[in-house]
Amino acid sequence: MNSPARVVTVLGSLHYDIMVTAPDRPRKGETVTGRSWHPKCGGKGGNQAVAAAKAGADCVMIGAVGADDFGQALLANLDRRGIDRGAVRVADSAGSGMSVAIFDADGDYGAVIVSGSNLTLGPADVEAANGLIARTSILLLQNEVPDAANIAAASAVKAAGGRVILNAAPARPLPDALKTLVDVLVVNAIEAEYLAGTPVIDTLDGAADAAGLLLSHFPSVVVTAGGEGVAYADRSGLAFALPGIRVKVESTHGAGDEFIGAMAAALARGVATRDAVSAGNAAAASLVGTPESERG
């Protein structure tokens, strides 16, 4: 590892994804003939760790996989990406997390996930990774693992002087014990609406309004609005919105995770907030414009 100031630690999910391309996504009771499929290593935690490492961060992963072929593939992917996976536990009691994602002709998708071993994560995993936590500048969390694991990790990183970014996805109630530990909340319009308890328009102006509303619960808020762009606000009074970068859409899958990983890597290097958000915006646009088959 290089300087501790660059370390991004991700506690989160690891999924083995089956990616299917089809003319459209099936409706209830409908069978659609697909064009192709391929496997991919994912999970919001895994995706964000890969994005942070790609953006230059020294990245540590805390997670769990099953004692199965999917688990071996997930571990090999972390190794290939240069991510420290010494704190990724092999669980005997559950299979690896996995998902099936179906992409339509426009590059949009729907997915089903089976969490598996990711739901076995807890405070003991954080305690086992205590040496890594002490070197963490930025901790990335999501909502695909138990709250107890997120709270334990956030508490440890805050005690060691690091910062906590929570990507509150998928949307679910957040315990107060976690909310009070979050430095930066990152959500899309749907998740912002859920947490704010009021309708959020999926536009850049809507994202900016939602970021302002959520400051009553979190000190800094990022609200993404897909291709429209991203908005930021914090309690110091800093607020800005960046328009999306126009690209030919190949696939929107993983764009939010790419944004978060790249932003976290920039923040860990000490980059100014606006520039870090801009770096995430550019990374997400680049990913959206890259076909799934060329993403590696």
Residues with catalytic roles: 257
Taking the C-alpha atoms of residue 240 and residue 224, their distance in angstroms, rounded to an integer, is 12
Q: What is the DSSP string of 102-119?
A: EE-TTS-EEEEEE-GGGG
Distance CA 123, CA 120 (A): 10
Strand partners, 186: 167, 222
Count the Cβ atoms, other than its own, within 10 Å of residue 219.
13
Whether 228 and 203 have beta carbons less than 8 Å apart is answered as yes
The contacts of residue 161 (CB under 8 Å, 6+ apart) are none
HSE at residue 132, side-chain half, CA atoms within 13 A, is 26
Alpha helix positions (H), 43-136? 44-54, 69-80, 123-128, 130-133
Beta bridge partners, 65, equal: 90
